[in-house]
Amino acid sequence: MRALAGAAALTALIVTPALAQSSPPQGTLGQVKARGHLVCGVSPGVAGFSVPDSQGEWRGLDVDFCRALAAAIFDDPKAVRFIPLSSAARFTAVQSGEVDVLARNTTWTLSRDSAAMNFPAITFFDGQGFLVRKERGIAQVKQLDRATICLQQGTTTELNLADWFRTRDLTYRVVTFANSEQTLGAYESGRCDAYSTDKSSLYGERLKTAHPDEHVILDETISKEPFAPAVRQGDDPWRDIVAWTHYAMLDAEEAGIGQANVEEQRKSVLGPDARRILGLEGRYGEAMGLTSDWAYRIVRHVGNYGDVFTRNVGEGSPLKVPRGLNALWTKGGLQYGPPIR
């Protein structure tokens, strides 16, 4: 018996280090590295989140999230293939492995989470709103009783609206479309009294109308829409990388390290938090199958969370979405990065 156990232990000794040395990285990270680029599912066109510019380059907060992942893995924010996905098709693309990650103004809900997917971190806190014509003099959602509302199929928008009207004993008529272009077109042509979707999307949709000044977004928010990237369930190391990519951007912002000053900061005398973020102390990235400078790569190539927010949806963009719930927890918001240590 003892001899047998001894033999087993010896085999383990011989086999284990050999396996550790020769085996390539497993799971999604291994596949991404072997392929040489990340495959990221995005929205076909939501201003500020993901939209191709005049040169065909994808731009937006969700796009930058995928670029940050590529920066962390490859030191190259361009090592991403973007796949535009409709609301209806997006989850199958994650479940089937067609995309490594979905970053598509997608709300994290229990039913989606339990459908063989995981939502590693909330990258944007949003809520559902309404776009209406100013001339209608509508100030509150309840004034939309008996109104016709345009929205997109396969979204939480559809479900929230049903709840909201039902609980107030109000009625409405809904007209649904497969994409935002058709939804906006129908609203603009006067087919609907209101266009309902996530408030963050309404900022861009309003600007796409022929006369933005003629439309207003109502103040009320009727739901919680926590946007999170989605990954296939069952790959914890990959889920960690996706979560910590967001947290690294938050922690960098909190530490005052941004795209504009990261090089200078790296050469200066820094506190321990900043040193760990920049990979000057500890080997935190390596524990995830990345390099120790993974977060520095993110900030250098893409920026911290504040940089990404400002550039795409905030003051540096035409949308001017207030930071609101997406401010750091130190500034009264909900964005909170756990410690890198």
Query: Which residues would be at the binding site for ligand GSH (CB under 6 A)?
Result: 43-46, 86-87, 105-107, 152, 155-157, 179-180, 197-198, 201, 225
- Cα distance between residue 157 and residue 96, in whole Å: 25
In the 8-state DSSP scheme, what is residue 178?
S
Asked if residue 129 lies in contact with residue 161, where contact means CB atoms within 8 angstroms, the answer is: no
Rounded to a whole number of angstroms, the minimum distance from the CB of residue 9 to ligand GSH is: 52
In the DSSP assignment, the letter for residue 45 is -
| Pick 227 or 244: Cβ nearer ligand GSH | 227
- For ligand GSH, the closer of residues 43 and 304 by Cβ is 43
Between 74 and 108, name the residue whose CB sits nearer to ligand GSH.
108
Residue placing its CB nearer to ligand GSH in the complex, 85 or 250? 85
CA max distance for the chain = 89
User: Burial, 306: exposed, middle or buried (Cβ in 10 Å; 0-12, 13-18, 19+)?
Assistant: buried
Strand-pair category, 58-59 with 51-52? antiparallel
Pairing mode, strands 124-126 and 225-227: antiparallel
Helix, strand, or coil here: 131?
A: strand
Minimum gap (Å) between residue 150 Cβ and ligand GSH: 10
Smallest gap from Cβ 193 to ligand GSH, in A, equals 18
Question: Which residue lies nearer to ligand GSH by CB, 122 or 270?
Answer: 122
> Which CB atom, from 152 or from 335, has the smaller least distance to ligand GSH?
152
Kindly list the distances between the CA atom of residue 338 and the CA atoms of 7, 101, 208, 250, 329, in Å, as whole numbers in the listed order: 44, 21, 38, 9, 11
Check: CB of residue 121 under 8 Å from CB of residue 228: yes
Q: Considering the complex, what minimum distance in angstroms separates the CB of residue 288 from ligand GSH?
A: 27
CB of 250 to ligand GSH, least distance (A): 21
Least distance CB 229 / ligand GSH (angstroms): 12
Least gap, CB of 57 to ligand GSH (angstroms): 18
What is the smallest separation between the CB atom of 44 and ligand GSH, expressed in angstroms?
4
User: How would you class 189 by CB atoms within 10 Å of its CB: exposed for 0-12, middle for 13-18, buried for 19 or more?
Assistant: exposed
DSSP-H helix ranges across 46-137: 61-74, 90-95, 110-113
The closest alpha carbon to 108, from 89, 90, 121, 94, belongs to 121
Q: Which is nearer to ligand GSH, 44 or 333 (CB)?
A: 44
Nearest approach in angstroms of CB 252 to ligand GSH is 26
Measured from the CB atom, the residue of 200 and 265 that comes closer to ligand GSH is: 200
β strands within the chain, DSSP E: 38-42, 51-52, 58-59, 80-84, 101-102, 117-118, 124-126, 128-133, 147-152, 172-177, 194-198, 215-217, 225-227, 231-232
The secondary structure of 24-44 as a DSSP string is PPPHHHHHHHHHTSEEEEE-S
Q: State how beta strands 215-217 and 172-177 pair.
A: unpaired
- Closer residue to ligand GSH, CB minimum distance, 46 or 132: 46
